[in-house]
Structure 1
Amino acid sequence: MAAVSDSDLADNPYVEDPPTSFEDVETIEADAAREQAGKLRAAIRYHDYRYYVEADPVVGDRTYDALFSRLQDLEEAFDLATDGSPTQRVGGEPLEELGEVDHVAPMRSIDQGGEVADVREFDERVRRGLTEYDGPIQYFCEPKFDGLSVEVVYEDGEFVRAATRGDGEVGEDVTENVRTIRSVPQRLRGDYPDYLAVRGEVYMPREAFTAYNRERVENGDDPFANPRNAAAGTLRQLDPAITAQRPLAVFFFGVLDASVDFESHAGIHERLPEWGLRVCDRARVVDEIEAAIDYRDAQLDARDELDYEIDGVVLKVNDGDACDRLGSTSRAPRWAFAYKFPARKEETTVRDIVVQVGRTGRLTPVALMDPVEVGGVTVTRASLHNPSLIEDLGVGIGDRVRIKRAGDVIPDVVEVVEGNGDGHFAFPDACPACGSQVERDGPMAFCTGGLTCPAQRERSVEHYASRDGLDIEGLGEKAVEQLLEAGLVENAADLYELSVEDLADLEGWGETSARNLVDELDAAREPELDEFLTALGIPQVGGVTARNLAQAFGSFEAIREAAEGGDEPAEGQVTLGEAVGEDTRADTFEAVPDVGPVVARSIVDFFEGEGNRAVLSRLLDHVDPQDADHSQGEALDGLTFVFTGSLSDYTRGEAQDLVERAGGSATSSVSGNTDYLVVGENAGQRKRDDAEDNDVAMLSEDEFVDLLDSKGVL
């Protein structure tokens, strides 16, 4: 196929000041459509070259998008799509698995070291190996990219294959995924060779990585640990459409095989851009090893300013003939050396601060940072915990901060070393996920959107089906995510409207698994009241509080009416104190054991939320929470128990149920109102200390069982 030169684009109307509005595709003739599509493809390839290789675009993003969209419309309307078209970067059909590819030439690793003595020793080895070489010994120096190495093959100028490095001899076939990367040309430019196999490094630009991690955190997903992991995971996706959605780029830096010869590494670096292959502009040729060391030090100083991660520099003997004389070992060339940077330690730069929305609506600020080693682990994010901590630290985007790992597990920002001068991060007044008002509760902040907030929605459905909720088998995290992505479920109420046919059509599902889940959901239509309350995920309401509410009110309707300003708990179930606040609804709930002002207010707010009420109304069309069972009477009436440690014959929940069904109370903390602390195996010391301070009797598990037996509970 003939090469396309810049002169061939002279009469192309889509190169300079292109139009962005077009005649409707339904009115254009087929021949005209074919001609226009050809010009659009050529122009888009040119614009890709100017953007990715020259870093000097001649059209804006919106203009480029308009041209690209027009080409898509023409190809779809007239069936004009070709494998080499720029539109094919959006990703093809999912792959069953990544196949294996034999490399055209070994993709060897290179020797490396982090000390200046290692570099000088490398230079000495090179000189010993070139004693009969007459030319000057120069070094070609370039950054060592922290990404994923790939082989990319072109035949007659057309992109035909790409593979990961693998073991150096055989790699994974990632052709369709690499095709989606915009800085990889589908067709070479200029006077290209008939055959070319190049080596490149796929990476995720730092700014794009931060933005992508921000999106993941805001959606409740775990962020990638570093850009390299993000690039590697993206490139190995079985669905090229997923790869196309993620911001990957590539630098080319070597030739594995070609139908032309190159005299030097600098020559390769000069020729690749002529063919449309992007190279790094920080490469240099130096005349001696000391200058190469200076080059490395300069890149170390500049690394934080780059939009890509580098972990050192690569030094190569520049002359091709000298490289041939030096040769290679079985694993590495003798003419190249990687001079590594020291690991970043403890101090790093905050690139972004995102606000993550938890299942209960709590907003947690998270700092996304340049990778830094803390306690032997590389971290790229750290918790800022709450708005008050941000204010206390005075931390903002762009600040240099010190990091520590709390308890050797969770990284925290502990100090601003150098501020950027713009002040601390301004915590949002609206939820980043749904736009609902943010309310402050002491140092913490909460979204008021409830079950209608997208960030809370997925986790609320997961919680509803989890062991802490209604324990619906077959509805784990991945299944819930799949149901939400398919548009089958938006909240817990939708679960009960799923059909076998809906589920069986999903990838990875079948008739049997679909039927099993529908049966599980049917079995969860009459849950115990406390289990249903726990499953709703009311902020601050866990299993113990849910059981106390169930015992106090007896029915779900009574709880809802109390929260909405209706009836109080049934007579004899709790003794209500005199209402002293303006909102008697919260006072009503404070009369329940183990419910304080914060929890009471949270319960009222949950039932008051318009979105929550709408979801509950639909949910109750499918679910009938069972009234609390008081059949065992009042054998433990007036007695309050707290449990610590693990029991052998009961779970903690089962033991608490026994107490509550017999008229007693089970709370989570020891106070002066506690009668017994039941101490199991591996019990914590704090509750035992509290029991001693409040003169509370402590029972072993056997003594607890004896007490229940003596009261006629067992």
Structure 2
Amino acid sequence: MPAADSDADENPYLRNPSTEFDPVDDLTEAEVREQVELLREAIREHDRRYYVENDPLIADRTYDALFERLQVLESAFDCSHPDSPTRSVGGEPIEAFETVDHEAPMLSIDQSGEEADVREFDERVRREVGAVDYVCEPKFDGVSMEFVYEDGSLQRAVTRGDGREGDDVTQNARTIGSVPQKLHGDYPDFLVVRGEVFMPKDAFQEHNRERIERGEDPFANPRNATAGTIRQLDPEIVAERPLDVFYFDVLAASELEDSHREELERFPEFGLRVTDHVEIVDDIDDAIAYRDRMLEARDDLNYEIDGTVIKVDDRDAREELGRTARHDRYAFAYKFPARAEVTPIADVAVQIGRTGRVTPVALLEPVDVGGVTVSRASLHNPEEIAEKNVDIGDTVRVQRAGDVIPYVEEVIEKGAENEPESHYELPDHCPVCDSAIERDGPMAFCTGGLACDAQLRRSIEYYASDGGLDLEGLGEQSVRQLVDAGLVESIADLYELEREDLTTLEGWGETSAENLLSEIDASREPPLADFLSALGIPHVGPTTARELAREFGTFEAVREAAEDDPAALEGVDDVGETVAETIHEFFASEANAAAVADILAHVSPQETVLESGGDELDGLTFVFTGSLADVTRSEAQETVEAHGANATGSVSGNTDYLIVGENPGATKREDAEENDVPIIDEGEFRELLAERGIDLGS
């Protein structure tokens, strides 16, 4: 996680920033300097997340507001600095590729969503160089790149990077069908062009649907999908993804045309694709009218645009206008307003959870919701789809509840091809394993169990998580690698892994392989409560698993009760009729029974022996969050319970202490602060026990 993320609570412009600013005249010099430094720090981090990590924290419009605020403050108080984001393009090349210098600077474009700013640009241009023609083009929302051709052959393709140097991604670019390896026609001996790599919208939605159905996180928008693809280390992966390119500028050439329009006219002769939506105008009113027409047409295009670009046509006039450290002064981007909350459903994907639950997910035309760009929204379950009458093609209102996945609130307009009462129907079979999908009340479930790859991946992830056996080094990415490589087809296969299996995978070395194997080997005799929780039995988390372990003592006793006498489970704390029935169904499943048997061939859960250590903690209630350094959470919970305390899974007004370990969850801490519950770390917890003569162990 980036270091700057840890400062999110201290810098108000990192996460969910407000763009309502105090008037500049109301600020003191000290307040200005503080705000300027916070904005610079935040914008640098947003640049890094956007350009390098491809994982933006905020929507583009929010970023623009922060950037504009910084520009205003620096101008009003004359406090600009060479290192300020306003003086550079931003975004450093990642280390995985060779860094190379650009043949010519790849500067950004001055931009605004206000018509007055566009007219001010025009007034400055005409004041400095006189009457001009403008070339109007769509402002593509993709990844800008430099393509270098020598003697007509593609020599190099480089990402924009920081505007002066970027990543050499030539091998990846060669896999894109619209990137000619050899130019056609009467081309210059040396030609450097700027293009925008993008993923078509229909291909983006299809790609996201496939990712969701494979159990992977979808991309936020087509630009992120493009950026994530072009920086893949394996060109074969790039070749499998549907990227495209529009070319729109000459950066350098052995022979230059007199005007931009002539350059664009010659591009197709060379085999370089240009957009059909280019217009030449002779006044700013026509340029503004062009932008308004493109705003109306944007939803009909099969690629994302977020505005239009107005460029001076004549090359001599361009040179006379010059450039700043950040942008060329001959061009201006007239931005579109962000789509807010209302957007069409382009497709619906089916997501399979760890327990087999089927969740339909609406794939949206990217939309701004509360300052965050979203491209998917939960439809929750088949019953809710029917109630809201939601179908593919409908225009819907999207809302966010906290930080969870956005959801479809209501249908605003039915799709043109949809009947008034039509709604989306789930498929009959799982898109991952082709097992039947069955309804259970308002919910739907894949019947494939652990034989379903989607459930398998999530089951392995959960087995290794903090709520399971806490196997460090076995997260979402590494589990996906193991499953995709065919090395793991069940949880039990983890215990068959060898060092040579791991070191053949990308990103794995001898040390990381040995560390994971050591973690797995150390989990062969887990506490019973941890093992029960790790199995991923629906409704059986760490707290319920601990109560089952305390009640039955051994795994065999738990399984026997679940199979033969589920009513016996109902006497356990946290286990009612519904949970007991769920546990019974888990063990009754042939697929689950076989998977558990395979695991038990490698794992021997420890018997839970309750020893009363006294009543030193009688009447106290503890809640734990995060990982403890020297003992498991289950062991800590058993220790306090053995000495008369209660250990519960959630914080309430009756909680006496919240013990916080490494990587704690935010919810429990927030609940503790709300209820004035003392929050202590592991060291303070040990001191509290020691004061009462209790040794936590190590």
Q: Give the structure-2-normalised TM-score.
A: 0.74
Letter of the structure 1 residue corresponding to residue 307 of structure 2: G
> Judging changes above 3 Å, is the alpha-carbon distance between structure 1 residues 118 and 669 closer, same or farther for their aligned structure 2 residues?
closer
Query: Which of 134, 137, 161 is the aligned partner of 1:139?
Result: 134
Residue 204 (structure 1) aligned to one of 166, 183, 199: 199
Establish whether residue 230 from structure 1 lines up as the match of residue 225 from structure 2. yes
**SS of the counterpart of 2:400?**
strand
2:601 aligns to what?
621
Q: CA deviation at 1:516?
A: 4.0
Query: What is the Cα deviation at residue 341 of structure 1?
Result: 0.8
- 2:489 maps to 490
Change over 3 Å in CA distance of 1:291–1:412 after alignment to 2: same
Shift, 1:553, TM fit? 3.1
Q: Residue type of the partner of 1:657? A: E
- One-letter identity of the residue aligned with 1:155: E
Instruction: Give 1:295 deviation, angstroms.
Output: 0.8
1:593-641 CA distances to partner (integer Å, 9 max, x unpaired)? 32122212221221122221221221121122233324549x99xx999
Identical aligned residues as a percent: 59
Which digits, 9 at most, give the CA deviation of each residue in 1:341-368, with x for residues without a partner?
1122221222122122222222222222
Q: Is the 8 A contact 2:451 2:591 kept in 1?
A: yes
Equivalent residue number for residue 467 of structure 1: 466
In the alignment, is residue 364 of structure 1 matched against residue 359 of structure 2? yes
Q: 1:570-603, CA deviations, whole angstroms, 9 ceiling, x for partnerless residues?
A: xxxxxxxxxxxxxxx4434334332122212221
Q: In the alignment, is residue 355 of structure 1 matched against residue 354 of structure 2?
A: no
Given that 1:644 and 1:687 are in contact with CA atoms closer than 8 Å, whether structure 2 keeps it comes out as: no
Backbone CA RMSD of aligned residues: 3.6
Query: In the aligned structure 2, how far is the partner of 1:460 from the partner of 1:557?
Result: 21
Within-5 A mapping of 1:163-182: 163-182=158-177
Residue number among 638, 650, 661 corresponding to 1:657 in the alignment: 638
Q: Which residue of 2 aligns with 1:535?
A: 534
User: Which residue, out of 127, 141, 144, partners 1:149?
Assistant: 144
Deviations 1:37-79 (A, max 9, x none): xxxxxxxxxxxxxxxxxxxxxxxxxxxxxxxxxxxxxxxxxxx
Once the 2 structures are TM-superposed, how far is the Cα of residue 332 of structure 1 from its aligned partner? Answer: 3.2
* Helix, strand or coil at the partner of 1:406: coil
- 1:220 deviates by 2.4
Aligned to 2:276: 281
Alignment of 1:589 onto 2:569: yes
Aligned match of 2:381: 386
Q: Measured at CA, do residues 645 and 273 of structure 1 come closer, stay the same or move farther in structure 2, by a change above 3 Å?
A: same
Match of 1:344 in 2: 339
1:232 aligned counterpart, secondary structure: helix
**Structure 2 residue 575 is the aligned partner of structure 1 residue 598:** no
The alpha carbon displacement at 1:311 in A equals 0.7
CA contact (8 A) 1:545 1:667 kept: no
In the TM superposition, 1:19-418 aligns within 5 A as: 97-131=96-130, 137-407=132-402, 410-418=405-413
Please say if residues 620 and 656 of structure 2, whose CA atoms lie closer than 8 Å, have aligned partners that are also in contact. Answer: no
Alpha-carbon shift at residue 179 of structure 1 (Å): 1.1
Letter paired with 1:359: R
Measure, in 1, the Cα distance between the counterparts of 2:218 and 2:162: 28
Question: Quick one: distance in 1 between partners of 2:386 and 2:464?
Answer: 37
Q: Is the 8 A contact 1:555 1:628 kept in 2?
A: yes
Is contact 1:375-1:408 (8 Å) kept?
no
Distance 1:607 1:159 in 2: 60
Deviation at 1:281, TM superposition (A): 0.6
Q: CA deviation at 1:337?
A: 1.6
Deviation at 1:299, TM superposition (A): 0.3
Tell me, in whole angstroms, the C-alpha distance in 1 between the residues paired with 2:624 and 2:95. Answer: 48
In structure 1, how many angstroms separate the alpha carbons of the residues matched to 2:192 and 2:588? 65
The TM-score with structure 1 as length reference comes to 0.73
**Secondary structure of 1:496 counterpart:** helix
SS at match of 2:327: coil
**CA distance, structure 1, for counterparts of residue 148 and residue 375 of structure 2:** 34
d(CA) in 1 for partners of 2:593, 2:198: 47
Aligned length: 573
Question: Shift of residue 161 of structure 1?
Answer: 0.8
| 1:668 Cα offset (Å) | 6.1
Which has the higher mean CA deviation after the structures are superposed, 302-311 or 119-128?
Answer: 119-128
Counterpart position of 2:44:
none
TM-aligned CA distance change 1:253 to 1:621, over 3 Å: same
What is the match of residue 590 of structure 2? 610
String of CA shifts for 1:519-564, please: whole Å, max 9, x gaps: 4333322222222111111111112222222233332223333433
Cross-structure match for 1:76:
none
The superposition leaves residues 111-139 of structure 1 with CA deviations (integer Å, 9 ceiling, x where unpaired) of: 222122222222222222234x7xxx322
Which one has a bigger Cα radius of gyration? 1
How far apart, CA to CA, are the structure 2 residues paired with 1:293 and 1:665? 68
Q: How does 1:688-707 map to 2 (within 5 A)?
A: none
Tell me, in whole angstroms, the C-alpha distance in 2 between the residues paired with 1:292 and 1:352.
Answer: 35
- 1:652, distance to aligned residue in structure 2 (A): 7.0
Distance 2:129 2:672 in 1: 71
State the alpha-carbon separation in 1 of the partners of residues 646 and 328 from structure 2: 74
* Displacement of 1:650: 10
Q: Deviations over 1:164-185 (max 9, x none)?
A: 2223232221211111111101
Number of the residue aligned with 1:444: 443
Give the C-alpha shift of residue 642 in structure 1: 7.3
CA contact (8 A) 2:157 2:170 kept: yes
Partner SS for 2:486: coil
| Shift in CA distance, 526/271, structure 1 to aligned 2, threshold 3 Å | same
CA distance in 2, matches of 1:618, 1:487: 17
Secondary structure in 2 matching 1:587: helix
Tell whether the 8 Å contact from 1:220 to 1:455 is kept in structure 2 after alignment.
yes
User: Is the contact between residue 546 and residue 634 of structure 2 (CA under 8 Å) also seen in structure 1?
Assistant: no
Distance 1:292 1:276 in 2: 28
Alpha-carbon spacing, 1:165–1:313, altered in 2? closer, same or farther (3 Å)? same
Tell me the CA shift for residue 401 of structure 1. 1.4
Alpha-carbon contact 1:644-1:684 (below 8 Å) kept: no
**Cα distance between partner residues in 2 of 1:271 and 1:646:** 64
Tell me how far apart the structure 2 counterparts of residues 440 and 277 of structure 1 sit (CA, whole Å): 52
Structure 1 residue matching 2:149: 3-state secondary structure: strand
TM superposition shift of 1:494: 0.7
What's the counterpart of residue 428 of structure 2? Answer: 429
Could you report, residue by residue, the CA deviation over 1:136-164 in whole angstroms, capped at 9, with x for unpaired residues? Answer: x3221110101111111112221111112
CA distance in 2, matches of 1:661, 1:126: 80
Between the aligned partners of 1:139 and 1:396, the Cα distance in structure 2 is: 43
Q: Separation in 2 of the partners of 1:686 and 1:604?
A: 38
**Equivalent residue, structure 2, for 1:457:** 456
- Does the CA contact (< 8 Å) of 1:529 and 1:556 recur in 2? yes
Secondary structure, aligned partner of 1:541 = coil
CA drift of 1:187 comes to: 1.2
Is the CA contact (8 Å cut-off) linking 2:621 and 2:645 kept in structure 1?
no
Following the alignment from structure 1 to structure 2, what is the Cα–Cα distance between the partners of residues 496 and 551?
27
Which residue is 2:657 aligned to? 680
Q: 1:655-682: per-residue Cα shift (whole Å, max 9, x none)?
A: 65257768999776999xxxx9654357
Paired residue secondary structure (1:403)? strand
Answer yes or no: is the 8 Å Cα contact 2:624–2:649 preserved in 1.
no
Query: Equivalents in 2 of 1:631, 1:112: separation in Å?
Result: 70
Runs of 5+ in structure 1 lacking a partner?
Answer: 1-94, 566-584, 689-700
Contact 2:640 2:647 in 1 (8 A): yes
Contact 2:532 2:545 in 1 (8 A): yes
Residue 692 of structure 1 is matched in structure 2 by none
Q: CA deviation at 1:329?
A: 4.2
Aligned equivalents of 1:686, 1:262: Cα separation in 2: 67
Which SS does the other structure have where 2:496 is aligned? coil
